[in-house]
Amino acid sequence: MQARSNLTMVITVLAAATLAALQVDAAEKTAKGRTGSPAADAAPPESGQEPVNYMIVVTGGELLSGAYADGHTCFLTRTLHPLGLNCVGSMTVGDKKAELKDALRFATGKASLVIVTGGLGPTDNDITRDALADFTGIALKEQPGVLQEMARRFRVSPDRLRPNLRRQAQAPIRGACLKNPNGTAVGLVFEPGNAVIVALPGPPRELQPMVRDRLVPYLSRRFGTRLPGCSLTLRFVGLGQSRIDQTLKDHVPLPPGVTLSSQFEGGRVDFTFSLPNDTPQDRAQLQHLKQEILKHLGDHVYADDDTSLEQCVVKLLETRGATLALAEAGSGGALAAGLTAADGSDRVLAGAYVASTEEKLRRLLRVPDDKWAGCTSDPKKVNLLASAAAERTGNSWTVVVGEPRLGAGGDRCVEVALKPPGSSTQCRHVPLRGRHESARTRLVTQLLDLLRQELLKGQP
């Protein structure tokens, strides 16, 4: 029975690895350069240098239950492939030490580099650190520098840190640790001799900067992989991916050596232009390309860095010295939630009212019954709600999102009111595309873009 169980496990892992490899291949085929080959393939390994094979092991029972999707494999392969690293498979395992060790046995038999994500936190099901120590035979030791940094983070002396937090200061005695400025779990590097095993924290906001800033330089030193070249990312809103691509083909031909990749989500599109090297001439070439693109698509570009659309709107409000009031029915508070997550939102968000219907919104805003009864159309209702919200929050910029309704053509839409300070209210029908969460995500993007465009008017 034990042999049959082990065989079943190996077959399951092989199937998972094969499926992940196919998914990665499919993802690469959707991000092609202008020559028709995948953008990542435009930067092959240096002449005579064999690519470094690696495996990815993603941990987390919540992934196996379907509560969350695995985004780590896509990020890691997209980041590491241009550096001469070749992913030969990815698998997902639960939060059990035996399962992780079985996966490590398989992975180290396939590749000289294994990257494990998740399971480095302070809870009982964070077993990655101990599992790797058992598997490699490399002991863990508390690192004074990591401990001091953690104590500073929590503003206590090291001896007052809780034991479960203090456990995160343990690192392998043979290997290295990767600093984590965005959390308490440092990355761990185990070097047992026949392979290198790297453990990264699970949260994307911790994992992704660690990969770019810490892991990539380590891999360059350890395996001789190239460092990243230079790249330019332009973030678009208000246009689809195919429309942007066609405009570039028609008006902005890519210079030799520049590769292009893109990704889109919720009505927002990122196009990344890359060169294999990073010299002043390369950076100047990308800046010239940017200026040419802006001539044709500038109205739809909201950032050329990691700035989110929400952060863009917050910065525009701060530049104007303005504040923003929100009253949401059809967007369910998603607009306020997105803006609140942006830096500086506490300085510009004057108030947010959320209710399931316009009737409930008008009660929150204390609109008198007689005024409300006189509103005989949807635009009049959201107009009145906008005036009430502006008055209650000090005449700030105001956005009101009405409740979803069927339009004349049978499509779902919401009535939106936008009121600048001291100006008349603009009312617009905004369609709801998609269903449920996807429709709400797209709606938030449309609302932010509408506000962005209005804030830009009159700006230099």
Domain CATH code at residue 281: 3.30.70.2860
Q: Which uninterrupted H or E stretch holds 284?
A: helix 280-297
Calculate the alpha carbon distances from 337 to 42, 56, 263, 314 in Å.
39, 33, 23, 13
Element (H, E) at 447: helix 436-456
Same domain? For 235 and 315 the reply is no
pLDDT at 459: 64
Which token pair is 423? 């100006």
Residue 89 sits in the same domain as residue 67: yes
CA-to-CA distance for 104 and 208, rounded, in angstroms? 22
Pair of tokens at residue 277: 């090297």
178's CB contacts (< 8 A; 6+ apart) are: 186, 187, 188, 189, 198, 200, 210, 214, 215, 218
Among candidate residues 94, 28, 89, 101, the one with its CA nearest the CA of residue 55: 89
Reported in sequence order, the residue ranges of 82-200 that DSSP labels E, i.e. its strands, are 85-93, 113-117, 140-142, 170-172, 175-178, 187-190, 196-200
**How open is the CA angle 168-173-175, to the nearest 5 degrees?**
95
Give the model's pLDDT for residue 460: 57
For 61, the token pair is 């029972």
Note the pLDDT of residue 227: 77
Task: Note the pTM of the prediction, 2 decimals.
Answer: 0.67
The CATH number of residue 204's host domain is 3.40.980.10
Residue 247 contacts by C-beta under 8 Å, 6 or more apart in sequence?
A: 296, 297
Q: Are residues 48 and 166 in the same domain?
A: yes
Let me know whether 21 and 128 are in one domain: yes
Kind and range of the H or E run holding 446? helix 436-456
- The CATH number of the domain holding residue 370 is 3.90.950.20
Give yes or no: residues 334 and 286 share one domain: no
Q: Which of 202, 223, 244 is the last residue of a domain?
A: 223
Per-residue pLDDT at 90 exceeds 60: yes
Last residue of a domain, one of 240, 275, 303: 303
Residue with tokens 């005024």: 371
Give the chain's mean pLDDT.
Answer: 85
Contact 254, 261 (CB under 8 A): no
Assign 58 a pLDDT band (cuts: 50, 70, 90). Answer: very high
| Of 104-108, 162-166, 319-323, the least confident | 162-166
Find out whether 112 and 52 touch, Cβ atoms under 8 Å.
yes
Residues 62 and 77 in one domain: yes
Q: What are phi and psi of 138, to 5 degrees?
A: -100, 120
C-alpha triplet 202, 205, 208: angle, nearest 5°: 80
Residues 196 and 326 in one domain: no
Tokens of 332: 């369910």
CB-based burial label for 410 (10 Å; 0-12, 13-18, 19+): exposed
> Are 242 and 196 within one domain?
no
Higher pLDDT, 149 or 322: 322
Same domain for 198 and 84, yes or no, is: yes
Q: Using CA atoms, how far apart are residues 354 and 357, in angstroms rounded to an integer?
A: 9
Distance (Å, rounded) from C-alpha 338 to C-alpha 361? 20
Do residues 53 and 199 share a domain? yes
Among 223, 257, 281, identify where a domain stops: 223
pLDDT grade for 2, boundaries at 50, 70 and 90: very low
> Which pair of tokens denotes residue 149?
């940094």
**Alpha carbon distance 186, 214 (integer Å):** 11
- How many angstroms separate the CA atoms of 171 and 175, rounded? 8
Task: Write down the pLDDT at residue 120.
Answer: 93
pLDDT score of 15: 39
Give the CA-trace dihedral at 130, 134, 136, 138, to 10 degrees. 70
DSSP string for residues in 353-408: EE-SSHHHHHHHTT--HHHHHT--SHHHHHHHHHHHHHHHTTS-EEEEE---EE-T
Pick from 50-64, 197-211, 430-444: least confident: 430-444
| 299 and 321 assigned to the same domain | no
Q: Are residues 255 and 313 in the same domain?
A: no
Which domain does 255 fall in, by range?
231-303
Contact (CB, 8 A) for 361 and 335: no
The total of structural domains in the chain comes to 3
Distances (CA, A) of 240 to 10, 181, 251, 311: 42, 35, 17, 21
What are the tens digits of pLDDT across the range 140-172? 998 888 888 888 888 888 888 888 888 888 999
